[in-house]
Structure 1
Amino acid sequence: MWLEAALLLIALVAALVTRPWRMLANHKPLVHESHGTPSALWTPLLAVLVFLPWLWALPTLHAMPLQLQWSGACLVVLMLGWPLAIPVLIAVGTAACVISPALVWADALGATVWLGVVPATLALGLGTLVRRYTGTKPFVYVLGRAFLGTVVCVFAAGVLSQWSGHLLPGVGDELSLVARWLMAWGDGFVTGMLAAIFVAFKPEWLATWSDGLYLHGRKP
């Protein structure tokens, strides 16, 4: 629990230092990845706060042989950017604890860290590496960052979670990694599909997308 609290505090302080709320208040792009007016990010932000807490709380709301856990953190990072995603994911974990009577604060802290903060931070690092070594191409963004990148980050976060003592209920130790690997692919499919749709129809909902950068090859 102390490790999770420390990770959460470090991530939150690092995110708040960048003053991410400016992306919602200012009508000028703040970073080279911004597309359109940052105020458009209110829509995906509110959607995350409405839907994601229920998905995080779902395993504790129903008795299931395998408690499927969907992260969604990588999609949140693509939509909001890492600095804004961290406080939003913390709010999601808090809301999930309020929604589910069976989810105690210690479990909510663990879910916030291993379903939210850790995969989101891994997605930030992997996204930087993908852009650096493969370039800025739409195909790379959707397949590399949104789809395969999500699979890698969510599975890695799941492995770290298991090493820290968080086991999947109803699953033996020898099958936990297999279950996490399969769940990571589900997360990747959803993130990749939604990212592709947003790139085509609602690019202003993706803070990490830029037409000038990915379509026209302009320098950051």
Structure 2
Amino acid sequence: MWLEAALVLVALVAALAARPWRMLANRKPLAHETQGAPSALWTPLLAALVFLPWLWALPTLHAMPLQLQWSGACLVVLMLGWPLAIPVLMGVGIVACLISPAMAWADALGATVWLGVVPATLGLGLGALLRRYTGTKPFVYVLGRAFLGTVVCVFVAGVLSQWSGHLLPGVGDELSLVARWLMAWGDGFVTGMLAAIFVAFKPEWLATWSDRLYLPRPD
């Protein structure tokens, strides 16, 4: 528990040092908008705070042989950027604990670390590596970072969670790894699908996407 608390504290300090609240300030309006148009990132931020707590609390809200776990952290990073995603994911953990009577604060802390902070940080690192070695290609962004990258990050976070003592109830160690691998693919499919939809129809909901970088106009 002390390790998890330290990880949360370090991540929060690093995130707040980047002053992520600036991304939520009023942006320059488009031609058809009025002055003082709010940042488009408010929509994905509020959506994460509304929907993700229920998904994180799902294992404590129902009884099944395999307790399904959902992260969503990589999608939140794509939408909000890592500095803003970290405090939002911590808020998700708090709300999840409040809506589930069976979730203790220690469980919420563990969920915040292994479903939120760790996969989000891994997603940040993987995204930086992909941009460093493959450049800004839309195909790589959607397939590499949003889809396959999410699978890898969520699975690695699940393995680290298991090594730290967070086991899936009613499942052996070997089968737990298989279950985490399969659940990571579910996370990846949804993240990749939503990222592709947002790139096409709502690019302003993706803080990590830029038409200028990924879709440059030919000279």
TM-score by structure 2 length?
0.94
In structure 2, the CA distance between the partners of 1:126 and 1:51, relative to structure 1 (3 Å rule), is same
Shift of 1:174: 1.6
8 Å CA contact 1:66–1:171 kept in 2: the answer is yes
In 2: Cα distance, 1:217 partner to 1:78 partner: 23
Q: Which residue of 2 aligns with 1:154?
A: 154
Q: Which residue of 2 aligns with 1:166?
A: 166
8 Å CA contact 1:90–1:112 kept in 2: the answer is yes
**One-letter amino acid of the counterpart of residue 18, structure 1:** A
In 1: Cα distance, 2:101 partner to 2:152 partner: 32
Shift of 1:61: 0.5
Q: Which residue of 1 aligns with 2:33?
A: none
**One-letter amino acid of the counterpart of residue 153, structure 2:** C
Q: Which residue of 2 aligns with 1:96?
A: 96
In structure 2, the CA distance between the partners of 1:70 and 1:26, relative to structure 1 (3 Å rule), is same
Q: Which residue of 2 aligns with 1:216?
A: 216
Give me the CA root mean square deviation: 1.3
In 2: Cα distance, 1:189 partner to 1:206 partner: 17
Structure 2: where are the runs of 5+ without partners? 29-36
Q: Which residue of 2 aligns with 1:175?
A: 175
**One-letter amino acid of the counterpart of residue 17, structure 1:** A
Structure 1: where are the runs of 5+ without partners? 29-36
In 1: Cα distance, 2:59 partner to 2:112 partner: 14
TM-score by structure 1 length?
0.93
Shift of 1:59: 1.0
In 1: Cα distance, 2:62 partner to 2:56 partner: 12
Q: Which residue of 2 aligns with 1:32?
A: none
Q: Which residue of 2 aligns with 1:116?
A: 116
Per-residue CA deviations over 1:123-145 (Å, capped at 9, x if unaligned) read 00000000111110100000010
Is structure 2 residue 45 aligned with structure 1 residue 62? Answer: no
Choose 1 or 2 for highest CA Rg: 2
8 Å CA contact 1:149–1:188 kept in 2: the answer is yes
In structure 2, the CA distance between the partners of 1:38 and 1:77, relative to structure 1 (3 Å rule), is farther
8 Å CA contact 1:23–1:38 kept in 2: the answer is no
Q: Which residue of 2 aligns with 1:86?
A: 86
Per-residue CA deviations over 1:138-193 (Å, capped at 9, x if unaligned) read 00000010000000000000010001000011111121100000000000000000
Shift of 1:217: 7.1
Q: Which has the higher contact order (CA 8 A, sep 6+)?
A: 1
In 2: Cα distance, 1:57 partner to 1:22 partner: 30
Shift of 1:27: 1.5
Q: Which residue of 2 aligns with 1:205?
A: 205
In 1: Cα distance, 2:170 partner to 2:98 partner: 24
Per-residue CA deviations over 1:93-143 (Å, capped at 9, x if unaligned) read 000000000000000000000000000000000000001111101000000
Identity, in percent, stands at 90
In 2: Cα distance, 1:38 partner to 1:15 partner: 22
Shift of 1:26: 4.1
In 2: Cα distance, 1:170 partner to 1:101 partner: 21
In structure 2, the CA distance between the partners of 1:102 and 1:210, relative to structure 1 (3 Å rule), is same
Is structure 2 residue 20 aligned with structure 1 residue 20? Answer: yes
Shift of 1:202: 0.2
Aligned partner of residue 84 in structure 1, secondary structure: helix
**One-letter amino acid of the counterpart of residue 186, structure 1:** G
